[in-house]
Structures are given as C-alpha cells and as structure tokens.
Structure 1
C-alpha cells in the first residue's frame, strides 16, 4: 500500500480575534438571501424567493455577517469557484442551505476548486460539487460544518487543509472521487482519488457514505483512499460506511510531524477491489513515518479478494504507533500485519488466508458470521458476540461517539465490530 507525500504545509495560525464591527453584530437579526440560477435576477434585491439572485457570486459579494443565510434553489447549477471568505461566530454561524424541490444545487468547473471555505463558523448543507479542478470542497477555516453535501468525480471530494481545524463533515455522500492529480510513470509520486484528504487538526468525519475512491495509477496500478491523513493530528473518523474504495485509510507525515492521535471508530468497510485494505500506518523507518497514537476500535471490515489486507503496521510498528480494540476483520488475504514490537491488539475477530501479528487478549481467528457480504451485522452464533473488551469513553473520543453505528449504547459486555446485536 502507498501513501503519497503532499507538498510541505504552512504552519497553523490561530484564528483572528473578532473585529469591533463583528462584535457589534451580536444583536443583529440575520438576513436570508435567495439564489436561483434558473429564474433569478442579479438586479433584484435577493431577499425573497420571488426576488432571488441568479448567481452565487452575488450572494458571496453581499458582505455576509454572522447569522446570515444563503438559500440556494434546488435544481440550480453554477460554475465554481464559490469562495466563502466571511466568518460567522459560534453562536451565529453563516448558513448555506437549499430550498424548493429537485436535485441538489450543483457546482462544477475544472478550472477551479468548487467550494472554498476560507472563513470560520460556516454551516453548509445540500451542495453538490462535481468534476472540479481538484477539490469539491476545500476547507481552510476553522469550526465549519459540512452536512448533507455531495462530492463526485473530483481528485478529492473534501480537502481539509493544514490551516483547517475543528471542522466537521457529517451525513454526506462522497462518491467516485476517482481522478488522479499526479499520474506519471516512475518517481513513486502518483497521487489522487481521495474521498477525504485531511491535513488539518481536530476534525471530525462522521456518518458519511464514501464509495469508489480508486483510479488507475502508472506507478501503482491502482490507488486511492476513502480517507487519507497526512500531517493532521487528533482527527476522528467515526460511524462511516465505506464501499469499494481501494483503501479505507492510509496515514503518514513529513519529517517533523506525526499525524498523531487519529481515531477510527464504528466504521463499516466493504470492498470488492482486488487490493483493498482497511488501515495502513507506518513506524519511524518509513519515509512518511512515524505515525503515532492511531486507535482503531469497533470497526467491521469485509474485503473478500485474495490480495487484500485488514491492517498493516510496518517499518517499526509498536503499541505507540497502533492500538486496536474490538474490531471484526474478514479478508481474502492477510487479516493483519505487524513488525517490530507489534501493535497493541485485543478483543478482535479475524479471518484471512494468513495473519502476521500476535493475537491479544480475547482475540480469535474465526469466521465472524456476517449476515452477508455487504451486511456486516452478526448472525447468531458469531464469535464476535460479547467478544469485545469493556472500554471507557476516552477510547471513542468522548461520550458522543461511544455508540454503535446505529446509535445504540455500548453494553458492559460489548460485541466486537461496528454493530451491537
């Protein structure tokens, strides 16, 4: 498996303090501006559906303030980029939402990234970024939320940059982001086909459906990942459904950084790809290692092809690199690999043609008895039932994430995997 280097990233900067003008907006009621690419008119006032503007550029140029809303008519279509540079506040974010019926508003354009969020405290829902230059959604700011968006046919569906911190991507669909940005023979440098690319810190990727993140590669044959993490620290990847991606997640960091403290919890991963994998991480001997403090807990994985791998912790694996608890991983290839001192593993069920790691407490090699190839709930008699170790909320990044993929609380004697029976 491969992880391709990203250009050297700029240092993170603290968010600027609000200006006096921004502070004075606390008592101001927000204004809603309407945009309709079919029936709108940029000469109108934009403040009602009947007087909607035609272009998103008109709305972005409206000097949006905290509490304002941009309502975009479903069925609209625009050419990017849409650059969101204003900032809301925690109490009054700036909102982008849809109205009307029909398809999500689509933003396309191969000359630019489609939606670029440079400000802070935006709440964005219902936009569809399609066939953009590189990223469907680029998030440079802090404390933003993308909810119910769609990204398709990009190099990366959602890109959270090195300056993007404490952002959330939830309940969204990232499908067939299967283009490469670098794809040439030689050099070990092909790159692309990411559902999500994370370079920033303290972000949450939760409740999403990520499919089709793979592309042909001159260097590797095929490449791609549902969630690629490079340099970003303390990111949480939880409760996602991933189907037919080349890799669920690879982690790496340039020297001097570590991509420390990534959490993978209650994800359901299936793929028919011939070389699919769940999780790939590295120790200090690797060019983009060490990646410290990764935790994978209560994930369910089924990858039936012969050349697949469940998890790989190589080039100096140790418990400080990877901890695994209560996972269910069934693959046609290698269920897990470790070298060096090995990972810290327990409470799991593994099935594969081979396994090159030491089983931890309560872990077994056995058929997990999934309901089907795509339904990874457990059938009666599964060895994963009540197999898991009891874990504190800290393992999940807090109480909000200490539940199975369907929202069930974890019992005192939990089942291994993403589903509680």
Structure 2
C-alpha cells in the first residue's frame, strides 16, 4: 500500500511539473508572462559599436552589442528596445513575445539625432535554413517598430523559387499570427521587398520607402515597397518613390501588355487567405511601376477579396493607379492621379477587371498624357466590371482622350483642374487653385480630412481629388 501511495505521489508530482511547464510556455507565447512573474517593464539598450553582450543592457553605458542578446531575452508588455543611432546590424531579429493594447513592446532609437538612424540589412536568402532576407520579423502582437533605417536587402533571386518562399520576403515582416503591430516613421532604401504584412490590424504609416530598381525574381517580378497578404490592414501617410525594375528578364509572356517592367508601391496577393477591410489612404507615390495591384491568381485563383477602401492618395507613377484584377465592393475615392509616365508596360488608370464587381470610383482627379487609357477593363474586351462611377474630373494634358470600356460615369467633368504646379514632383504641387473646376463638384462621402489633414466640410458637395482648396 505504501509503495502504491508513493507511486501516486510521484505521478502527481510529475503531472504538476508538466502543468507548470505548459503554463510557462503559454504565458511566454502570449506575452502574458508578467502575470506570473509580475516583472515591471524595462528599457533595453543596443549599441553595435561600443556595447558589450556581457552587460545587462539596462542603461546606455551598459548597452548590449548584438541582436543575439535580444533573441535570447523574454520581453514583457511595455518593454522598450532602443538601438543607438549610428549602429548597424546584419541579421534577422525575431520578436516572438507580445505586448498589450495599452502596453506595446517598442523597437526604437536613442542617441544623438545628428547621427544616422540605427541601420539594418540582410542579404541572406536560403529557404532551406529559414533565411528570407528579413531584418526584423514580428511573431508577436502589439509591437511598435519606429525610427529605424533598412537598406539593400534581398532581391535579384534566381532559380525555381515559388510563391510560398517568395511570400516570406520583407525587410520588415509581420507574421500571420502577429496582430495589431505598428510600423511607423521608418526609412527603407533599396529593399527588394520593403514591408510585408500578414498580420490583422497592422498599421503601416508615415514611412519613407524609396529607390529600388533591382529585379526581385528574374522570371517575372520587380521590387515591392509594401506587400499585403492578410486582411484588416491600414496603409497610410507613407511616401513611396522609385520602386520599379525595367529588365529583359521580367517577362509576363507574349499576351502581356508589355514585357520587361514590373514592381510597384503596394501589392495585395496570396489567395490562400480571403481579404477584406484593407484601407489605403493619404499616401504619396512617385515614379513607381504602379500605385497598387490586387492579383487574381497565385496558388489559388479568384480568391474572395472585398471592401477595400482606397482614398485621398496622390499617385504620379507608371503603369496604373490601380490594377484590381480581383476585388468587389471596393471604394476608390478622392484620389489625385497623374498618369504622365509610361514605359514598356502600361495598364491605364483604373484597370478593374472582375465582371459585375460593383466597385465605386468617385471624386477622383485624373490627369493623363501620352494617350494612356483611363478604363482599360483588362485584357479581355468582353469584360464588364459594372463599376459605379461618378463625379470624377478628367483632363488630357497631352495626346488624345481614350476613355476605355467604362466611364466617364455620372457628372463627369472634362476640364483643366488648375493644379498649383502640374510639372512638380512633390505632393503639394498637386493642390488645386481657387479657380479649379474640382471645387465643390464632388459627392460628400463622409471622409473627415483631406490629404493634408484639413477638415472636410460636411456640406452636400465637396472638392474632387485628394485636396480640398485652401487659401493657406
């Protein structure tokens, strides 16, 4: 009897240990370990030049040196990880712990503002070893990444690299299970893929992403600044410039609109996951191979995409403002679109191809040159998207008017919009003057502020385009 009782005590003890281990793992994975250990949030410092991994990392004078120390540490909600300005890192930082709605885990900078922002790069791409050229890969939720610099990450891949591996790229990568992450006030230069996000409720805002002209994948793809693979995401107030590649290795076949050019500011794909409620607003893009493309086929064809909200953006790009190969019940409102640049591939302005998709195109200010088609309707002339088109302003700055299969819609205006400086290069150049026909000619669609942040009056009529007129 004693032996039996002793055996039961041992089994009970083992079960207790196992439960403690499981609970430890649960709280670590969900970022709630502070409930067990009640550790207060802390600030950690990383200095790649003068730090030392033997330090405790809890002060500027006691900063760590490498990202390895971060990977070995368990962070709790409210922790801040600060990288010293002038530092440089060349590997992948995985952040697996999570913050809370009122206690984000923060990755940011510190030090002399005259020094360069903390810099990150990674040129390693080896899928067999789970190397995808990421600099920061977020696996936890409620994480903020701000004030950092990313440069010259992976591009120009060759060989039989299929979708599932390509979708892992991104200087900053947000995992599918990482929700409510914020990517803010960062600069990305010459990154084959700038920001890749799968995480729901991600906010990508106020970043400057620029100057990548390298082929991303030699058989078809150009560079991408922001790449979305999940739903419930927001992309706002970013500046994206010069993301495009022109190269003979880029070839979409004999039936494509033109071989040799690809890339763009924003792309939405990965048909494995239905997508809805993606909002793209108040962005300025220039010299990219298109503002946005929404794909219709990859590992899955014709996935269910719906309810995208694209408004108050300014685009001065190549190829197209929007290529909506897949998507319905989307709203494309109050954008200022300048299509004066054309290269070997061109898809017009509003390339909307799904039949009977009932997308809205309203209050947009469109200026076109070089006989660029406004509503091409896709490769097949029989396509009819049945878009709801109204209150747009169209102006042909040079060449001929080519409206295409849809449009001009109801209450269209054909007139010079009277922009501040049509030949300019910055967003402010595309404000409207006091004598613009775009004034009080649009529908009031319930938006609260224009591109510049000015309050939109709640009158019956509002201004067409991304700006409302202002004397200031």
The two structures have a TM-score, normalised by structure 1, of 0.85
Q: Which of 246, 252, 264 pairs up with 1:225? A: 264
Matched-pair contact (CA < 8 Å) for 1:149–1:172: yes
Question: What corresponds to 2:179 in structure 1?
Answer: 142
Question: What corresponds to 2:407 in structure 1?
Answer: 358
Normalized per residue, the structure richer in strand is 1
Q: Which of 252, 261, 266 pairs up with 2:307? A: 261
Question: What corresponds to 1:398 in structure 2?
Answer: none
Q: Which has the higher contact order (CA 8 A, sep 6+)?
A: 1
Q: Which of 84, 91, 105 pairs up with 2:118? A: 105
User: 2 CA distance for matches of 1:306 and 1:167?
Assistant: 33
Matched-pair contact (CA < 8 Å) for 2:31–2:77: no
Equivalent positions of 1:287-302 (< 5 A) are 290-302=326-338
Equivalent positions of 1:29-68 (< 5 A) are 29-68=40-79
User: 2 CA distance for matches of 1:172 and 1:43?
Assistant: 34
Normalized per residue, the structure richer in helix is 2
Matched-pair contact (CA < 8 Å) for 1:390–1:414: yes
Q: Indicate how the Cα distance of structure 1 residues 19 and 170 shifts in structure 2: closer, same or farther if over 3 A, else same.
A: closer
Question: What corresponds to 1:239 in structure 2?
Answer: 282
User: 2 CA distance for matches of 1:337 and 1:294?
Assistant: 18
Equivalent positions of 1:371-390 (< 5 A) are 371-372=420-421, 373-374=423-424, 375-390=429-444
Q: Which of 448, 453, 462 pairs up with 1:414? A: 462
User: 2 CA distance for matches of 1:192 and 1:20?
Assistant: 37
Q: Secondary structure at the match of 2:35?
A: helix
Question: What corresponds to 2:205 in structure 1?
Answer: 170
> What is the CA-CA distance between 1:181 and the residue it aligns to?
3.0
> What is the CA-CA distance between 1:28 and the residue it aligns to?
4.4
Give ranges in structure 1 of 5+ residues lacking alignment.
Answer: 1-15, 185-189, 283-289, 394-401
Matching of residue 305 in structure 1 with residue 359 in structure 2:
no
Question: What corresponds to 2:243 in structure 1?
Answer: 213
User: 2 CA distance for matches of 1:135 and 1:325?
Assistant: 33
Deviates more, 1:260-269 or 1:230-239: 230-239
Q: Indicate how the Cα distance of structure 1 residues 405 and 21 shifts in structure 2: closer, same or farther if over 3 A, else same.
A: closer
Question: What corresponds to 1:287 in structure 2?
Answer: none
Q: Indicate how the Cα distance of structure 1 residues 19 and 126 shifts in structure 2: closer, same or farther if over 3 A, else same.
A: closer
Matched-pair contact (CA < 8 Å) for 1:154–1:178: no
User: 2 CA distance for matches of 1:108 and 1:26?
Assistant: 35
Q: Indicate how the Cα distance of structure 1 residues 20 and 295 shifts in structure 2: closer, same or farther if over 3 A, else same.
A: closer
Q: Indicate how the Cα distance of structure 1 residues 226 and 306 shifts in structure 2: closer, same or farther if over 3 A, else same.
A: closer
> What is the CA-CA distance between 1:344 and the residue it aligns to?
0.7
Instruction: Note the aligned Cα RMSD (angstroms).
Output: 2.1
Q: Indicate how the Cα distance of structure 1 residues 370 and 123 shifts in structure 2: closer, same or farther if over 3 A, else same.
A: same
> What is the CA-CA distance between 1:91 and the residue it aligns to?
1.8
Matched-pair contact (CA < 8 Å) for 1:108–1:129: yes
User: 1 CA distance for matches of 2:73 and 2:276?
Assistant: 35
Larger radius of gyration: 2
Matched-pair contact (CA < 8 Å) for 2:31–2:97: no
Q: Which of 289, 294, 297 pairs up with 1:251? A: 294
Matched-pair contact (CA < 8 Å) for 1:252–1:259: no
Q: Secondary structure at the match of 1:59?
A: helix
